[in-house]
Structure 1
Amino acid sequence: MTDSATSDGLRERKRRATRTAITSAARALTSEKGLNGYTVEEVCEAAGISRRTFFNYFPAKEDAIIGHAEDDVPAEVIDEFVAGGADSPAGDISPTLFSDLVRLSLRLAEDMTASEEETRQLIAVVKKEPQLILRIIGVTEQREAQFARDVARREGVTPDHPVVQMAVVLLSTIARKSSMAYFSDGNTRSYRDLLLENITAASLLFSQPFDIPATAAEGRP
């Protein structure tokens, strides 16, 4: 690894640590005082940063509470996933796409489990300030659009390719369903087990043969 690459890696880790500190402070203050009960300056004091630094990372308190998309899916994880399709001709859906999507999901599940307390904190904050839900929906749509671009880049197709779109819809839905079950009251199962169970169920369903029903016009003599 070159000195430049090492420097870039250290710089990104520092930026990620700063983003995490800001988000943690914003969530803690929201949980304690409510969204309108504190100022950006209080977030800065809790995170040990300047006001200027805060706005270099987030445009508003609401954004700080939700967190940064890059911290959800590390760039090196996405790069590894994209590289998995290198041996497949551009424009052809690679034969390992599904298995690599599963592997990616499990890798991200490890990160989710590691940051479980932060996720629980966010859930508590949203319950306290439900108006954040619309912002979360918007951010989720942005992240899904980026995921579509990543899958498309791996496969050498456009983001609106039907397989790419279906991959994003299915994986996003499965992840949400698994998360809801994992964070539900009384759950004793691991997120990984719940995720694998739902992926297996989807795989079984879509592996079944089916006949395309004839349309009314096609059925006429």
Structure 2
Amino acid sequence: MINSANTDGGLRERKRAATRTAITAVARSMTAARGLSGFTVEEVCEEAGISRRTFFNYFHSKEDAVIGSFSDELPEDALEAFNQNPSPTPDSISGTLLAALHVLTVTLMERSSISRTEVQQFIAAITAEPQLLARLTLEGEARERQFAALVAAREGLDPGHPEVMTATVVFGAVSKKTAQQFFSEDNSRPYRGILEQNLNAARKLFAQPLATNQELGANPLETTKDPA
């Protein structure tokens, strides 16, 4: 039997995501064509087919709408599956973290309705309004902190734990590069395949041993003793 509460929740989630996506798409298109000062929130609402109240239920400003929202991109069921950690390790990341991050990222991308056209609209909007670059940088930092908190919660560690920080930075860099490749104009490969190729390349690198002290030679920072 289908759980009606879960069905209703999933429907609301999809409707919310669709509304958010529509608002963002309109805001980006208008910014690319006219600049931020060339249109109003009311015009965005009219084009997206929503009320002003609905707009502000999703975003605080036109700038927010152009940048988009990270929290709305994380479906509850995908987060629930990610947070299931069958092998927690004391004071260390678990052996299932990479696999869980892989599944979560692929799930989010394959459910996403974002298109190559929308990505190009976003780039055009940022190009038209360079002031958004600073905002985008801050948003990126905020998302990185949210991502670290997400990983830390799954692993039962502090967000500042070295392994959590390294995992989020490295995986974030790989997924960012994957997105750039996937949305490039000449790409015909599926996101999953590109991500797996890039992750396997990273795994090969980080599986290599570090140099020993003998291989490194004398420490150049080590001060020499005065023979006198």
TM-score w.r.t. the length of structure 1 is 0.84
Match of 2:74 in 1: 73
In the alignment, structure 1 residue 52 sits paired with structure 2 residue 53: yes
Change (3 A) 1:60 1:113: closer
The superposition leaves residues 11-35 of structure 1 with CA deviations (integer Å, 9 ceiling, x where unpaired) of: 3333222222211221222222222
Match of 1:36 in 2: 37
Report the Cα distance in structure 2 between the residues aligned to 1:171 and 1:18, rounded to whole angstroms.
Answer: 29
How far residue 150 of structure 1 moved from its aligned partner, in angstroms, is 1.2
Change (3 A) 1:100 1:212: farther
Change (3 A) 1:114 1:180: closer
In the alignment, structure 1 residue 157 sits paired with structure 2 residue 164: no
Trace 1:40-189 onto structure 2 (pairs within 5 A): 40-83=41-84, 85-88=85-88, 91-111=91-111, 115-184=115-184, 186-189=186-189
The superposition leaves residues 182-202 of structure 1 with CA deviations (integer Å, 9 ceiling, x where unpaired) of: 344544544433322221111
Percent identity (aligned):
46
Report the Cα distance in structure 2 between the residues aligned to 1:92 and 1:176, rounded to whole angstroms.
Answer: 25
Report the Cα distance in structure 1 between the residues aligned to 2:11 and 2:105, rounded to whole angstroms.
Answer: 26
Give 3-state SS (helix, strand or coil) of 1:158's partner: coil
Change (3 A) 1:12 1:179: closer
Change (3 A) 1:132 1:107: same
Q: Which runs of 4+ in 1 moved over 6 A?
A: none
Change (3 A) 1:178 1:89: closer
Which one has a bigger Cα radius of gyration?
2
| Residue ranges of structure 2 left out of the alignment (5+ in a row) | none
The superposition leaves residues 159-204 of structure 1 with CA deviations (integer Å, 9 ceiling, x where unpaired) of: 1111111111011111222233334454454443332222111100
How far residue 87 of structure 1 moved from its aligned partner, in angstroms, is 4.0
How far residue 151 of structure 1 moved from its aligned partner, in angstroms, is 0.9
Report the Cα distance in structure 2 between the residues aligned to 1:182 and 1:13, rounded to whole angstroms.
Answer: 23
Amino acid at match of 1:160: G
Report the Cα distance in structure 2 between the residues aligned to 1:194 and 1:107, rounded to whole angstroms.
Answer: 14
Report the Cα distance in structure 2 between the residues aligned to 1:201 and 1:112, rounded to whole angstroms.
Answer: 25
Report the Cα distance in structure 2 between the residues aligned to 1:11 and 1:107, rounded to whole angstroms.
Answer: 18
Change (3 A) 1:81 1:208: same
TM-score w.r.t. the length of structure 2 is 0.82
| Residue ranges of structure 1 left out of the alignment (5+ in a row) | none
How far residue 91 of structure 1 moved from its aligned partner, in angstroms, is 4.3
Give 3-state SS (helix, strand or coil) of 2:88's partner: coil
Amino acid at match of 1:159: P
